[in-house]
Structure formats: C-alpha cells, structure tokens
Structure 1
C-alpha cells in the first residue's frame, strides 16, 4: 500500500528580512522624491532667470524620453551630442529672436512740474543761465528767471553772484535752524555779509515781520557786518522803514537784476548800505 507523500511546505521568509526590505524601499523612495524636488526647483529657478537655457533643457529632456521609448534602436553618444547641440542652437536662435522683437523701453514721462512762489506751475526743464563775469555781462536782464527757481536754487544763484564779485568763503547755509541766514560770505575787504533770500512773486511783498525776524539774529547771532534781505519782488513801506532803522540792506527784484547785470551796486557797497 503506497503511503501518500506530503506536499512540501512553503518556506516562510523571516520577518526580519521583510522589515529590512520595506525600510530600504522607503529610503529609496525618499531619495528619489528628494532628487525630483531638487530638479524641479532648479528647473523653476533656471526658467525664471535663463528662459533660453530652460527651453534647451526641456528639448534635451524630451529628446531623452523619446530615445528611451525606442528600446530597439541604439543611440550612440555622438547622436545624443548632436541632438543636444541642435537643441541648444535652437534655444539660442529663439532667445535672439525674442531680443530682436522686444519692444523698446518706454519713453520718459513728462517731467514733473513744481509750484512757483505764487502758486503757479513751472516746467522743471527750464534751466538758469550761468552767471557771467562783470566785464562780459549780457545786456538782457531777463536771462536768469529767479522766479522759476526753487528756494534752494535761488540761494545758490545769490551765492554765485557773491563769488562772481570777489567774495570769499561763500557758503549756502539756508535750511532748518538757519536763524534767518541763507548765504554767508566774506567781502574782498574782509567784512562778513549775511544774506536772507526771499523768493516771492511780484504780488507778494516782503513785510516788516520778515525783516524784523531777520534783524533779531543777523547782528547778534551771526555777527554780520552787512545784513542783506534779497527778494525777487518788493518790500512794504513798514519793512523798508524798519530796515533803515536797523541798518539792513533791502534789495528788491529790480535791484537784484541790476546787480546781476553789473550795472548796479553790490549789496555790501557803501552806496547800497547807505540806501
């Protein structure tokens, strides 16, 4: 009587071996995901900064995928190099075409206008003519439009007149906390001139309060030998009266133009101080 044979039992793999395989699987998966994320971030950054190279990489990658799908066809290293070179050449031509067809830079907008002392608007492109020496002064008294300057430019223009006429140590000190002094200079004979600049329109005259504030600091604070108030407009009668009492020189717009043209006295000259 034949004894039935038992079927051999399947040998189970050890539990330890399966855990190691699973751990190895997840480690490899994590490495692959990390590499994919790095490649994606690198490709995104390259696409933002180098579009032409991004296009080239895409073309090369596409060519690689197509080559991988054709398993039956062997592709040599030389053929792959040719494909890559062609892709780079095409990307270069694309980038060059994009640069050629790029729109020109936008034209500069209109220059911002600023407000003059009378509340009007003036064009910032207007420039002030350079002051010429006394012996070469132009007869056109309207060459320098002081009303069109901003306060800082007006102070600079007055300082240039002082330098032109031989003053030394000319400095523009106008600003916050200047205590009324906008321009200080030393005359050729050594006297200290302190000038306050009032850039007003013709309808806005310098009043006595402006002169009084300047009179309270020009001599006692700044130690001026000659104190001058220069304006592009005119002075009120009380302002002139106060200036005469304190020995402050008042130079209105007409006298300023005569000083510029070299046909009138400088503010520190005796006839101007006496006036």
Structure 2
C-alpha cells in the first residue's frame, strides 16, 4: 500500500529498482524526497509570512524591491482568502501581474511598486479598464484592481470610482495587515 501511494507521487520506483533491485532503497529515497518537499513547502510559507511581518514592522512597503512587492501582494491576497495565480516578473504580462479568485470572483490585478512621492496616475487606471474590457469575455474576468506601495492621484481615484475599478494604496495595505 505504501508503495502504491509513493509510486505516482515520485515516479522513482522503476529507476531505483532498475539500478539496484533493492526495494529498501526506494523507501529511503522516497522518504528523502518527501522530506525535501515538506521542507520546501515550510520555507516557502515561512518566507511569504515573513514578507507580511516585515511590512508591518517597517510600516512601509517602499523598502521592498519591485519583485518582492509583487510576491508580497500575492501573499496579501492569499491572507484575504483568495487563490492567487502569479504572472508578472520580468516578462511582458499585458498589465496583469496576478489573477485572484474567490467564489465567483475572478479579478486581474496590476501591482505597482512606487516610491512614496511617485503616485499612480490616471493613465495606469485607464489601461486597467482596457485590460478588463479586453479580457472580460476571454478570461471571464469579473473585475480589475490596482495595488500600489504608494498612493493614487486624485484623477486616478475619480476615474477608478467612476469605472468600478478597485484601487488599494500602501496606507490601506498597512492598515489592513495591522
């Protein structure tokens, strides 16, 4: 039974049996692989939670690098109960860094890591409206959102309100994570 559980997970049985013919090596390497998986999982979760603690402690998000802020944003949404699919990174992402889903919601998120003096302008919010309109049918989006480490200009806030675009600034994030 133990063998039946591990065989599909690891796929190592034929390799180990072919090399040695000794099934105890299979159990040994299977145990090692499972331990490594658990360690990776624990470190990954610990690292993500560390990002949230770090943001709370420093009372600001500007100290993070842009890619760290993207990972932080993904974890922020996970903590709010969303499932998160990360795009972003160094490649062209079409204005979508994250797709977050919860129940019947499916929201495209753009992450903007700006310094405190650099506010998100209305043109960024307009672009997200275009992303929503172009992806509404094909991606089955129910909304779009912009999250930033900084704040938004007044015209950006007004445009977002008029077009039902959710915007989250750095102050809201810090307040939410306490």
TM bucket normalised to smaller: 0.5 to 0.7
Report which structure shows greater RCO (CA 8 Å, sep ≥6). 2
1:143 Cα deviation after fit = 4.2
Alpha-carbon contact 1:167-1:186 (below 8 Å) kept: yes
**Corresponding residue number in structure 2 for 1:164:** 79
* Structure 1 counterpart SS, 2:123: helix
Task: Indicate whether 1:186 and 2:64 are aligned.
Answer: no
Residue pair 2:60, 2:170 contacting (<8 A) in 1 also: no
Q: Normalising by structure 2, what TM-score? A: 0.63
| Structure 1 pair 144–131 and aligned structure 2 pair: CA distance change class (3 A) | farther
For residues 70-121 of structure 1, give each alpha carbon's deviation from its aligned partner in whole angstroms, at most 9, with x where no partner exists.
xxxxxxxxxxxxxxxxxxxxxxxxxxxxxxxxxxxxxxxxxxxxxxxxxxxx
Aligned counterpart in structure 1 of residue 109 of structure 2, from 195, 199, 217: 195
Radius of gyration: which is bigger? 1
Question: Gapped runs of 5+ residues in structure 1?
Answer: 1-126, 262-275
Tell me which protein shows more helix as a share of its residues: 2
Alpha-carbon distance in structure 2 between the residues aligned to 1:129 and 1:225: 28
Partner of 2:12: none
What is the CA–CA distance in structure 2 between the aligned matches of 1:129 and 1:186, rounded to whole Å?
Answer: 20
* Structure 2 unaligned regions, length at least 5: 1-46
Q: Match of 1:153?
A: 68
Cα root mean square deviation, aligned: 2.6
Aligned to 2:162: 245
1:154, distance to aligned residue in structure 2 (A):
0.8
Q: Any residues of structure 2 matched to 1:77-92 within 5 Å, and which?
A: none
- Counterparts of 1:117-132 in structure 2 under 5 Å? 130=50
What is the TM-score when the length of structure 1 is the normalising length? Answer: 0.42
Q: State how far apart, in whole Å, the 2-side matches of 1:257 and 1:218 are.
A: 27
User: 2: CA distance between counterparts of 1:152 and 1:247?
Assistant: 27
Q: Out of 149, 153, 163, which is 1:232 matched to?
A: 149
Answer yes or no: is the 8 Å Cα contact 1:202–1:232 preserved in 2: yes
